Structure 1
């Protein structure tokens, strides 16, 4: 029953995303988009797929580094494939990472042969760490624009979003760490009765004991704290995360270059993080929302690039960074789910 409801939610999300894409393509002009895609250079398209693989590998290494900090090391190849499966979970569930994290945690725990809360702490830590370099790169791009042009509406909104997100992130980290024990006790007090109430609503499900739930919640917070107090692993994970963001930015830049447009690097440095923020939309993996933000920012910050060309480039970029990991990760997730 729960699985059926989850399937319907995901299916409706994909239907909504498909409808959003169809409307956007119809408004922009399918022929113009097709003509732009037809101009793409096949050799560069192959390179884009390679760059997407580098991005996936870098973030897989970030996950592996975090797992090492939790004394749960896994081989590099396994880490990359497991991260691909986590990306698959994010891409097929509403609200992106927020919706996919519970599934990703299960896949990671099975691949690393660890408790579920360790997998949840690992993927939560990776997601949190990934925000840091994205904001830094976006601020570098915005600093460039501040010296070169007057901010238009799209760029002003992007700057405000990045600035607000940076403030919220710093505040969350500082307050979360300062009051971590209070937050832990609050989570135990809130989640334990909630889980027991939900479990009691299903006849064949046995409600877990309070002590067991408390131990698991405390285990999650303990795992997060172990990651946070390992500066060497944190620094290495941030390096891999930064490499991944540069890979994503390079993918979008090459996608524009493949159809005949050369844009300043600052354009993609701002567009990619801002697009990632749009992945919190209710559509699976941020479909529609990410593409719209990327397109609006590239058009708003670059002279001479048509909306049809940008749409074509975004389709190429998303094809490499959304479809590819979804296909690979789906296969890995299926294998892990059967274990």
Structure 2
């Protein structure tokens, strides 16, 4: 039933894309898409590739702090695999994080512990909140300057939602009993389905407790080395800056010069919609929301829609394809 619902939401999202094209003007939009400057589009693609490399470098720092040795190419693969799963997951899209950890652990054989690798994934994700909130403040100040109440409200909502998700993540990462309750409930569901595979409940609970403790110790070990967090934080700011530059160059490719601060504003404001979307990967929803927000800051609708479609081709469909190929190859 859940799979059928997912298909329904995806179809609905594709339907939204069709409506968006009709609203923006199919002819005008297609003309802009097919006349895009390949040089600027190539730079936009380069910005995305660099952002993935920066992400991999940042994650490798956390892995090394946890004494986990992983080939760089494997880390890159883990990122694409995580993106693929996240793009199939509605809402906050956190499904890819456990899969990334599993991908890395599997590549290292039985020598590496899954809880330790997962702790580095969570540390990597938690660190992202700092540059995001910094850029949120800049976007909010600009929205106040423009006196756009809708944008101010959306940005405020996005900020609150991000902080709420961070708080929940930290609670379940650091409070063993809460994490144990949730995991054991999940184990209970699987035990009813596969009673013979999971074995004795007390043994399973003991293993889960040990894994949670190892995860917590690794995460705290990374967090306590404050000096070692500064460099990954700088990489985080660079990563988000490259994300903004990518969209900026996409606009240049269709002959429209837009200020970086407007791109920043729309990127930050659209986050909340992406996190609460019931459509996997926000297909259709993300395009509609971002197009509407660019319209608010003075971008023509056909230009906004064309730019968003090209941007999503680079940042959504390309990595999703790569991640899917890697998963098939890995047979996860």
Q: TM-score range by the shorter chain?
A: 0.7 to 0.9
Could you tell me which residue of structure 2 aligns to residue 51 of structure 1?
Answer: 47
Q: Is the 8 A contact 1:109 1:118 kept in 2?
A: no
- What number of residue pairs does the alignment pair up? 326
| Aligned counterparts of 2:117 and 2:137: Cα–Cα separation in 1 | 31
Matched, 1:292 2:288: yes
| Aligned counterparts of 1:99 and 1:197: Cα–Cα separation in 2 | 18
| Aligned counterparts of 2:7 and 2:123: Cα–Cα separation in 1 | 29
| Aligned counterparts of 1:11 and 1:289: Cα–Cα separation in 2 | 15
Could you tell me which residue of structure 2 aligns to residue 151 of structure 1?
Answer: 148
Matched, 1:283 2:275: no
Q: Secondary structure at the match of 1:261?
A: coil
Q: Secondary structure at the match of 1:97?
A: coil
| Aligned counterparts of 1:19 and 1:290: Cα–Cα separation in 2 | 13
Provide the TM-score with structure 1 as the length reference.
Answer: 0.85
Q: CA deviation at 1:166?
A: 6.0
Unaligned runs of 5+ in 1: none
Q: 1:122 to 1:69 in 2, by over 3 A?
A: same
Could you tell me which residue of structure 1 aligns to residue 315 of structure 2?
Answer: 321
Matched, 1:201 2:182: no
Could you tell me which residue of structure 2 aligns to residue 94 of structure 1?
Answer: 90
Provide the TM-score with structure 2 as the length reference.
Answer: 0.87
Q: Is the 8 A contact 2:136 2:159 kept in 1?
A: no
Out of 239, 263, 288, the residue aligned to residue 258 of structure 2 is: 263
| Aligned counterparts of 2:10 and 2:165: Cα–Cα separation in 1 | 29
Out of 300, 303, 308, the residue aligned to residue 306 of structure 1 is: 300
Q: Is the 8 A contact 1:96 1:284 kept in 2?
A: no
Matched, 1:334 2:328: yes
Task: Give the stretch that moved more between structures: 65-74 or 327-336.
Answer: 327-336
Could you tell me which residue of structure 2 aligns to residue 30 of structure 1?
Answer: 26
Could you tell me which residue of structure 1 aligns to residue 125 of structure 2?
Answer: 127
Q: 1:119 to 1:335 in 2, by over 3 A?
A: farther
| Aligned counterparts of 1:8 and 1:237: Cα–Cα separation in 2 | 40
Q: CA deviation at 1:314?
A: 0.4
Unaligned runs of 5+ in 2: none
Deviations 1:263-284, CA, capped at 9 Å, x for gaps: 1211111222333333322222
Q: CA deviation at 1:138?
A: 2.5
Q: 1:238 to 1:180 in 2, by over 3 A?
A: same
